[in-house]
Structure 1
Amino acid sequence: MYKILSAGAALVAIVSVPAQAYEVAGGELSFNVGTRYSSVSNIAFLQGGGVTADGDNSFAINAGAGFERTFGQNGRLSLSYGWTSTRYDAQGSRDNELQSAAAVYTHRVGIATLGVSHAQAWYDLDGSSFLQVSSSSAFLGAPGPLGSVLVGRYSHSETELEGGFAFRDAQTDTFGLTAQRQFGATTLQIGVSAAEEDAVAVELDHDSRTLTASLSQPVLVLAQPLLVSLSGSYAERDYDAINPVIGMAREDEHTRLALSVSRSFADGLTLSASVSDLAATSNLPAADYDQSVVSVGVSMNF
């Protein structure tokens, strides 16, 4: 299994070109294509029971399609499909392809919005099927206190791995609540969630709690209108059983901070840059790492 456990500074260039929407079957059909180049100074590669780390570069191409249709004044259906192929410079089983499909239906009832969704993902590693993930959700959105909008969500996901990693197969149940508040052009969002994961290997069963926050603010710099976004998250994960590697129950903590800046132009062109830092602490040495990523991107909408 390919897994990023630790990375230093990275430079990512992204070009994404969504196509214009077309009227089909009473709705709007759209397409998108894009490319991405990544240079990562340190990639951790999970290979059997050991971990090796080295630098590598990758080139990705992606394509997708989306369909949206409204039903009366209150219903909306959204369908999407995406495909991404990633190739690495170094030799080894890192080349991968990812396909994903999702369906979301929302319906407004008075001041509230009810919704259900289902998503499916297929991940091929080095030309062979490796991972499948399915996730179904139900959510409710409604006005909250102080002019906020509250969204409560329940999700159930199932993960299946091929080959010698079937012991990682798992089912996860997640409950979450998100609050969003507008202050003029400023957007503040805060979320909390709790999850319980049951895996085939009992030492991988765990409970987790996550707190997230983000703030987006338009600013004017050198006469250029920019959108600045700051986000952060803190998660803690407690495992149920004794881990045979360390002789005790595993405990993880993840703290992530990210800053992004984007500039959009009238013709649909958007330039963006971001930096993020992840500090992962664990009493399991292979899961104790830091990850820093710097990225720049350009996209075109038309």
Structure 2
Amino acid sequence: MIVATQRDRAWTPGTSDMQRPVQLVGFACALAAGLAAGAARAAGDSSTSFSAEIGLGAEYDSNVSVDELDASSNQGDYAGTLDAELKLKHEFNPKLDTSLTYNFSETAYEEFDFLDRQTHLLGLDFAGDLGPVTSGLTLHYINARLDGEDFLEYYRASPYASGFLAKKWFLRGAYVYSDKSVEQNPGRDSLGHAGELDVYFFRRGLRSYFNVGYKYKHEDAEADRYDYTSSDVKVRYVHRWDVLQKPLKFELGWRYEYRDYSSVTPSIGEERLDKRQRWKTSLDYPVFTKGNIELYGGYADYDSNYPSADYEQYVVGTRVSYSW
């Protein structure tokens, strides 16, 4: 069963809890705005563009779950999905640009309607081309709701650098600071620090390429039993074929996460250890002038000595989108 206790529901965040992410994001936004203003003064030509996308789909989930709460139903359900993205991009000059993005997504289940999820994401990216290296800063704010009630708030700030090592080899590295709060369980509120490294090999440009990545993360939660460090490895392959003079995109990805908790979990009397494998695949094909249809599937195998976090799951679905 997926439930929240009365103690959890009665909790309200303290002043310091609310001010910490606001101060962080405020400082980062001020820094990005200052850099952008300086770039604008130095730039001769600038341009602004707008893009949008909306998607509608349906999927089957074999094990409806809430990953952030280590809760699974062990039952399957059908769901309708809706998503939208709005993006505003401004180029100060050919070497400096910034973009503001808003994403909305909603999943509505047929039977598990009390787990209907709605997510809002606001993102800001500022990037500068320094010749062989592109560096920048990304900021994200995420607000998620379950069954119309507050569920999750997440703040993320990430400076990054990227560039080509050779003609076909591309490297990207980033540091990620995160601040997470979970309304249903304040013990899971946490601060996170992570380092990420991604390598791309463009076999045939964007028509065919590989991506291998590694992430190391430390998460410090309010309750010691949720503190952990993790190592995350991912492998991804993307290939495009011409079918009826249109590109059919195929993607296959695998991710493995080793999560080591640093304190004893009382219910099992030992330190928790999770080993998580996830597979994802998709086919994407253009329809009409600005539309796409996607078929996707995924499989997850969560191996843990904590019973409620030990389960298997697969998801299959389809999505139709329109962009302009």
Which TM-score applies when normalising by structure 2? 0.78
Is the CA contact (8 Å cut-off) linking 1:45 and 1:53 kept in structure 2? no
Larger fraction in strand: 1
2:63 match: secondary structure: strand
Residue in 2 aligned with 1:168? 188
- Alignment of 1:295 onto 2:317: yes
For 1:259, the aligned partner's letter is: T
Equivalent runs, 1:182-197 vs 2, <5 Å: 182-184=202-204, 185-197=207-219
Segments of structure 1 that go 5 or more residues without pairing to the other structure are 4-24
Change (3 A) 1:225 1:133: closer
Larger fraction in helix: 2
Is the CA contact (8 Å cut-off) linking 2:119 and 2:145 kept in structure 1? yes
For residue 198 of structure 1, report the CA deviation from its aligned partner: 0.4
Range with greater deviation from structure 2 (184-193 or 254-263): 254-263
Residue in 2 aligned with 1:31? 52
Is the CA contact (8 Å cut-off) linking 2:59 and 2:318 kept in structure 1? no
Residue in 2 aligned with 1:214? 236
For residue 278 of structure 1, report the CA deviation from its aligned partner: 1.3
Alpha-carbon distance between aligned partners in 2 of 1:40 and 1:221, rounded to the nearest angstrom: 30
Equivalent runs, 1:124-273 vs 2, <5 Å: 124-144=145-165, 147-162=168-183, 164-184=184-204, 185-219=207-241, 225-265=247-287, 267-273=289-295
2:75 match: secondary structure: strand
Alpha-carbon distance between aligned partners in 2 of 1:91 and 1:192, rounded to the nearest angstrom: 35
Q: Across the two proteins, how many residue pairs are aligned to each other?
A: 280
Is the CA contact (8 Å cut-off) linking 2:87 and 2:100 kept in structure 1? yes
Change (3 A) 1:31 1:186: closer
1:110 match: secondary structure: coil
Identity over the aligned pairs, expressed in percent? 24
Change (3 A) 1:217 1:34: closer
- Alignment of 1:82 onto 2:108: no
Change (3 A) 1:227 1:97: closer
Range with greater deviation from structure 2 (236-245 or 273-282): 273-282
For 1:263, the aligned partner's letter is: Y
1:131 match: secondary structure: strand
For residue 168 of structure 1, report the CA deviation from its aligned partner: 0.6
Q: Could you say what the CA RMSD is over the residues aligned between the two structures, in angstroms?
A: 2.7
Change (3 A) 1:224 1:86: closer
Q: Which runs of 4+ in 1 moved over 4 A?
A: 48-51, 220-225
Residue in 2 aligned with 1:71? 92
Residue in 2 aligned with 1:121? 142
Alpha-carbon distance between aligned partners in 2 of 1:165 and 1:190, rounded to the nearest angstrom: 34
Alpha-carbon distance between aligned partners in 1 of 2:157 and 2:124, rounded to the nearest angstrom: 10
Segments of structure 2 that go 5 or more residues without pairing to the other structure are 4-45
Which TM-score applies when normalising by structure 1? 0.83
